[in-house]
Amino acid sequence: MMEYNEERCVIELQVNGLARQVMVRPADILLDVLRQELGLTGAKPGCKNGDCGACTVIMDGWPVKSCLVLAVEAVGHQIMTVEGLGASGGKTSSKSSSAGTSAGSSSGNADSGTGNGSGNGNGADSGYIDPVQAAFVQANAFQCGYCTSGFLMVCHALANQKPDAEEYEIESWLESNLCRCTSYQEVRQAVDIMLGRS
Amino acid sequence: MGGTIGLNVKRKEAWAKVTGQAKYTDDFPTVGHYTARLLTSPYAHARIISIDKTDALSIKGVKAVITGEDYPNFCGPLLLDRPAIANQIARYAGEPVAMAIAVDEATAALAAAAVKVEYEVLPAVFTPQEAMKPAAPLVHENIGKYGHAAEDINPRPNSNISSYFPVRKGNMTEGWSNSQVTIEQEFFLPPSDHLAMEVRAARAEISKDGMVTITTSSQAPFEVRKQIAECFQVPAGNIRVLVPFVGGGFGGKAPVMQELLAYIASREVAGKPVRLVMDRKEDLTAAPSRAGLSARIKLGATKEGLLQAAELTFWLDNGAYTDIGPYMVKAIAADCTGPYRVDNLHCDAYGVYTNHTYATSCRSFSHESLTFCIERAMDLLAEKLAMDPLKLRMVNAITAGHYTPTQVLGTFSNLGNLPACISRLQEMTDWQEGPPVQITADTVRAKGMACFWKAATPPTNAPSGALITFNPDGSLNLNTGVVEMGSASQSHLAQMLADKLGISDDQVHVVLEVDTRLNPVHYKTVASITSYIAGRAVMRAAEDILAQLRKMGAEALSCFPEDIEIKQSRVYARQNPDIYIEFKDIVMGYKDVFGNSIGEPVVGRGTSMFKGLSNLNPKTGKGQSGPAWTVGAQAVEVEMDLRDYTYRIIHAYSVMDVGNLINPEGMSGSVRGGMSMGISMASRENFSYAKNGRGEMTTPSLRSYKALHIGEEPIYELDFVETPQLDAPYGMRSMSEHGIIGMPAALANALSKACGVAFNQLPLKPEDLWRTATGTGAVAEPMMAPDAAVAGAAAGDAAGADASAAAFAAGAGFAEGGIQ
Ligand code: FES
Ligand code: FES
């Protein structure tokens, strides 16, 4: 028997440069739809209440907490997740010397044994290392990594929107995100590297 | 040796974590899964009169609703006192009382909310003080009937005492009569949270033939296997536990909780895969928290400040269920004096049930709380002695030749070098005696310090293991049971292994996901014991590989095995280094030029188990509970506005004896992270409970429970002392938790100095400081009579007695704010 489900609707989202059609409930938040319908699990739930920033994605160039955006509200906007970072349209502008480097020995051996998320969205061009990722690795700006996608998103937008940000502006941008593992000193250092200040 | 020790090697999974590729428990596809949601108790203590599931079950898409009656089995790592879902009695607000399973999360949430529960509210206890009163309501009526997984924990029937460990040493009468100066003070630390950014999650499914697969955000996959097997009578071999990346644990993911729930959920729906993700409120209120601690500390010293006697009582608030609490009590007892020599010692350490969320270790097995009490007491003693607090610590620092509270003889190997840490801290902080530095008319700067020590308190036979296999390019795969949750333990193991085998670090691949069916058993990824116990296993596996390569190399190169050298992924005879076999040509077995096969593929195997640990003597505490201590000295500098008690933490300093700084940047990051957590915990974090007869938590979100954000952090300055621990691989001491330990005490000492008021409880929010300093708000009755503060002081005339008395007047007892 075929059942018509009046509780769901089909919407089209622009995610990491691709048009994706998904079936959602009007009450579904963008975070859940990205993770469960599109397999883009880089954005993490930490509170689903706007308090932690782990779910941050980029909407039309600006960071938003995807737990505070309904999926239906995202229609017509350009969404970028950490998986799209470094791809065309997802590059972080940078004054740092490592800007736009290609993957080399510095990439280490990042074999995780826990799946590699291939085929999710529009992955980065192979060989291209986005400056914000390089900076976070260089500065050891994460430990468990759960908050990292969110911080990367905020930093990416910061570099593109406010490359000359003053210290207080950097602080007020990053205040939106919580990290329980690092001391934040490492995150600041990563931002400095990304902005070519250290 | 390959020379990888001391390099700033990046963590193995660095790139997985900056690309979104790193997968955590709930990052796997949810297609085909049912979702479970919890209904939790709104009352701290209540009898469950009835549960009506009818409405919930009538919702379309709901598959099952489970209550405590369905699975009354008791679980726990030490004392079997906790059902997966409250049965008949709910013992804390937030305790699961029902679980709904449905086709999707929204439906499950709807169903959980539609379960109707009728309660009869029971009187509750919220502090160890209340719980220890003779007529206190009992959190558990039947402690005596609970099964034990550990025999040494001493719960006391018909009381709220869940565990007890005493320590007796020397002669107290002598100790007090040698003491010209004494202090006595009570301290109070409320419970708080680990607040790992990843909320707890688990998935379970059961195949038709009874094979159980559980994926979970756990620090203790092997403990999950054990508890599911024991609580639900499942053969352990039928259980497979998978742990992908874990988004922070700090001890909070060592208890087995969400796994039990996911397991029974799947069982209830004929084994279908079920996912359970706690929301942040549940993660804060339902899942284990950091234990609170109350303490009464009495110290006696000579006029020169040499400690002569200590009488110490600790009450650990383990909340409604014990979990690992009894062993935290044991750890407190074993390290009760802090890192000081005290020959005459009387310590009683209790674990106490309350109607709080049940508690577990938070980053240092209660040493952050123990240290708060001892180090505040040391500052009070210094004040009374009119002695520099740094000097007081220096003259009493425990070192080689001294005995610990449980009568273990100290050596540089097992104790490290605390005096060296204190000296270095003195230089780094430019430590000065004297009053706070006036910055403006209303602001002052002051520094406070704290010393710490911590030994792990694992089960005396905690195991670990390592398996190493090779790839055709000569690289290898390191396979342990260690969970990757941020501490880079596995990367440190890889670094040691690379060095030991004489290969470069990038030739070591690490299996970061744990699968209890594949990985060798490892006790738990806790207590910073990985470098020690898993390290020993890895070193043995490396020896195993080297032996195999020597044997094969000797045959292939026609020489003696003892002449074989193994370096830079090559095997050669010492006398002829130009003729060598590359790893890639030998590790899969060797074939010579004539086609003869020599040897066989190399697989490295190593296991280990703690040695030389013993239970503590039930009367004196004598015994060895951990392999070695990590010691350190820490300080903070604050700038405080004396008008409104607001403050900024300007600097935070740490000097730790880590034995061997094998990865300076990585290890510094761990220490700073711990310091940050300590500062956050001490300056703002506590659970509050409503005083409305229900006792629900009033801080159940990240909006009401505030953690440190960027911009609030101090400038960190670190240094290290390296006194090798001789029985640890590369001499490296446990260190991944330890940054937190001295921070709460150092902050309280700095603020007490800045204000001239003794702050003896946490948290240290400006409002709390103002209440204590001004006596505003109702102050609860102290447990100790005021005159007891100087009892035993043969000479109460020591310089500074007045200041000290003032400090007591201001700080003694528990302010209302802390008793919630
Ligand atoms: S999950 Fe969106 S801010 Fe925390
Ligand atoms: S790295 Fe773990 S929360 Fe930031």
Indicate which of A140, A156, A167 best probes the interface with B, i.e. most B CBs within 10 Å of its own CB. Answer: A140
**How many other C-beta atoms can be found within 10 angstroms of the C-beta atom of residue B107?**
20
Q: Indicate the residue type of B603.
A: V
**How many other C-beta atoms can be found within 10 angstroms of the C-beta atom of residue B541?**
28
Q: Residue with the nearest Cα to atom 3 of ligand 1? A: A50
> What residues are in contact with ligand 1 under a 6 Å CB criterion?
A 45-48, 50-55, 65, 67
Q: How large is the C-alpha radius of gyration of chain B?
A: 28
pLDDT digits (tens, 9 = 90+) for A82-129: 999 998 889 998 776 554 454 433 333 434 333 333 333 334 456 788
Query: Are the C-beta atoms of A170 and A71 separated by less than 8 Å?
Result: no
Which pLDDT score is estimated for A5?
63
Ligand nearest to the CA of A177: 1
C-alpha–C-alpha distance, residues B113 and B110, integer Å? 5
Query: Are the C-beta atoms of B316 and B352 separated by less than 8 Å?
Result: yes
For residue A54, the ligand 2 atom closest to its alpha carbon is 3
Residue A151 pLDDT > 80:
yes
Residue B435, Cα to own-chain centre: how many angstroms?
35
C-alpha–C-alpha distance, residues B478 and B13, integer Å? 14
Q: Average pLDDT for residues A141-157, to the nearest whole number?
A: 98
Closest Cα of chain A to B462: distance in Å? 25
Domain extents in chain A: 9-194
Contact residues, chain A, for B512 at CB < 8 Å: 112-114
Closest Cα of chain A to B482: distance in Å? 13
Residues of chain B predicted below pLDDT 70: 1-2, 777-820
Beta-carbon separation of B197 and A147 below 8 A: yes
Closest Cα of chain A to B189: distance in Å? 20
Which pLDDT score is estimated for B2?
64
Closest Cα of chain B to A141: distance in Å? 9
Which of B14, B673, B715 has the CB atom closest to A181's CB atom? B673
Beta-carbon separation of A46 and B198 below 8 A: yes
Indicate which of A70, A183, A191 best probes the interface with B, i.e. most B CBs within 10 Å of its own CB. Answer: A183
Interchain CB contacts (distance < 8 Å): A and B: 208
Query: Are the C-beta atoms of B8 and B666 separated by less than 8 Å?
Result: yes
Which pLDDT score is estimated for B573?
98
**Domain annotation for chain B: domains and CATH numbers:** 24-124+199-246+253-285 (3.90.1170.50), 289-408+416-458+614-808 (3.30.365.10), 462-609 (3.30.365.10)
C-alpha–C-alpha distance, residues B379 and B750, integer Å? 10
Query: Are the C-beta atoms of B414 and B725 separated by less than 8 Å?
Result: yes
Which of A39, A107, A175 has the CB atom closest to B711's CB atom? A175
Closest CA to B742 of B451, B462, B499: B451
Q: How confident is the model at residue A28 (pLDDT cuts 50, 70, 90)?
A: very high
Beta-carbon separation of A143 and B673 below 8 A: yes
Q: B194: buried, middle or exposed (CB in 10 Å: 19+, 13-18, 0-12)?
A: buried
Which of B22, B245, B248 has the CB atom closest to A180's CB atom? B248
Ligand 2: distance of its center to the CA of A104 in Å? 26
Which pLDDT score is estimated for A88?
81
CATH, domain A9-194, list 3.40.710.10, 3.30.930.10, 3.30.70.2190, 3.10.20.30? 3.10.20.30
Contact residues, chain B, for A187 at CB < 8 Å: 710
Beta-carbon separation of B711 and A109 below 8 A: no
C-alpha–C-alpha distance, residues B131 and B320, integer Å? 11
Beta-carbon separation of B20 and A82 below 8 A: yes
C-alpha–C-alpha distance, residues B696 and B284, integer Å? 12
Query: Looking at the complex, does the CB of residue A185 fall below 8 Å from at least one CB of chain B?
Result: yes
C-alpha–C-alpha distance, residues B299 and B313, integer Å? 12
Pocket test for ligand 2, best of B18, B197, B283 (most atoms within 8 A of CB): B197
> What residues are in contact with ligand 2 under a 6 Å CB criterion?
A 142-148, 179-182; B 197, 248, 486
Closest B-chain CA to A41: B27
Which of B19, B23, B510 has the CB atom closest to A115's CB atom? B23
Which pLDDT score is estimated for B581?
98
Structure-token pair, residue B582 = 């590359």
Phi, psi of B223 (to 5 degrees): -70, -35
Beta-carbon separation of A114 and B250 below 8 A: no
Query: Looking at the complex, does the CB of residue A23 fall below 8 Å from at least one CB of chain B?
Result: no
> At which residue do the structure tokens 């259980």 appear?
B239
Query: Are the C-beta atoms of B64 and B268 separated by less than 8 Å?
Result: yes
Phi, psi of B106 (to 5 degrees): -60, -45
SS3 state of residue B37:
strand
Contact residues, chain A, for B199 at CB < 8 Å: 45-46
Contact residues, chain B, for A110 at CB < 8 Å: 12-16, 21
C-alpha–C-alpha distance, residues B62 and B60, integer Å? 6
pLDDT digits (tens, 9 = 90+) for B309-332: 999 999 999 999 999 999 999 999
Ligand 2: distance of its center to the CA of A181 in Å? 4
Closest CA to A180 of A144, A127, A126, A152: A144
Q: Average pLDDT for residues A31-35, to the nearest whole number?
A: 98
